[in-house]
Structure 1
Amino acid sequence: MFPPRQIAVTLAFPLLIIFLTTLPPLITAGGNGDTSLTAYDLLVSYGFPVGILPQGAIGYDLDKNTGKFSVHLNGSCSFALEGSYQLRYKSRFGGYIAKNRLSSLYGVSVKILFLWLNIVEVVKNGDNLEFSVGIASASFPTYNFLVCPQCGCGLNCNSNGHILKIRNSNLVSSV
C-alpha cells in the first residue's frame, strides 16, 4: 500500500498536467473571453468580410468595452492586388472596431503612386467598403473581399495564373 503522501503526489500530478494543457488556449485568447472566435470570425461579427485580413492571423486582442483591438500575424505581410495596389501589414496591427467601422488604424499601409500611406479607417456602407488614408479614400464592393489574400502573392497565388481582379467604385475621392 502507498503511504498517504505518495497518494497525494500521485493525484496532484494529473491535475497539474490538466491545468497546464488548458492554460495556453486561455492565454492566446487575448482576454477576449471566447476562445472559439478567430480574428476572421471577429471581423464578420462586426459586419466585415474576412478578406480585409490576410491569411496567417495567429491571434488577436480585443477590449470589448472600448473596441480597441490588435491582430497578430506570424510575420509582416505585403502583397499586390491587380498590380496597382500594394498593401503592407505589420506583424501586429490594430485600432478600434465597431459595427461596420474600423478606426484609428495602425500597422496597415497602401502604396499610392510612389508613397506609402497609412490606412486609418475602413467603413462599410451597404455593399461597399471605404478605405481612408486621411486625405483621400477609395470605395470597393465587398465582394472583392470574400477571399483572404496571401502574403507575398495576394489573390494571384494559383499556379494556373488565374487572377482575381479587384474592382473599385471610386478610384480616389477626397474627404
Structure 2
Amino acid sequence: MDAHVSKSRANEEHHNNEQVDKAAKVKVSQVNLDWQHKGEVFLARWAHDASGHQGRDATYRWARDRGVDLTMDNISQVIHNCETCAAIKQAKRVKPLWYGGRWLKYRYGEAWQIDYITLPQTRQGKRYVLTMVEATTGWLETYPVPHATARNTILGLEKQVLWRHGTPERIESDNGTYFKNGLINT
C-alpha cells in the first residue's frame, strides 16, 4: 500500500485485497492430490488395453510378467469403466454375427474382417484406409496409408489389431491382391 494514498482509498484497496485473498484460497479437500492413485489407474488402463482387454486376473498376470505392479482394485476399476469391454459384454448377449451364410461363434478378438477404402489424398500423402472390423462386436480399427499394399496391410494389422487385441484366429477379406500375397500367406 502506498503511504501517500488517502485513508478511504487505502481502506478500499485493503478491502479489495481481502476479497481477492478469500477468492484465491482453496480448501485442500477440494483439490484431488492423490496423484499416485491416478498414476496407478493410468498404468492399469494401459495394461488392460495392451493386454487385449482381458479380464482382471489375466491383466494382472500380463502386467506382472512385464514388471508392472498393479492392484486388483485398480484393474477392476479400469475394466468396470472400459467402453470396449462394455461393447464386448453387450455383444455376448446378442445373437452371433451372420456372415457369409454361417453364424460366427468366435469370442471377442478371434475373428476380424478387413478391407481398404479409398479417400481423397491427405496432406501427408495418405489415400487409403485399412479398415479392420472385429466380427463379434463390430469394433472398428483404422490405419491410413499412402498405398494399399501387402506390407501396409501387415503393418496395420500389427499396430491396430495384434498389439491391442491379441492374435486373431481368423482374418477375412475380399482377397484383393494386397491380401493374397506371399508376405501375408506366411
What TM-score comes out, normalization by structure 2 length?
0.30
Q: Which has the higher helix share?
A: 2
**Hey, which of these two has a bigger chunk of strand by percent?**
1
Higher Cα Rg, which structure: 2
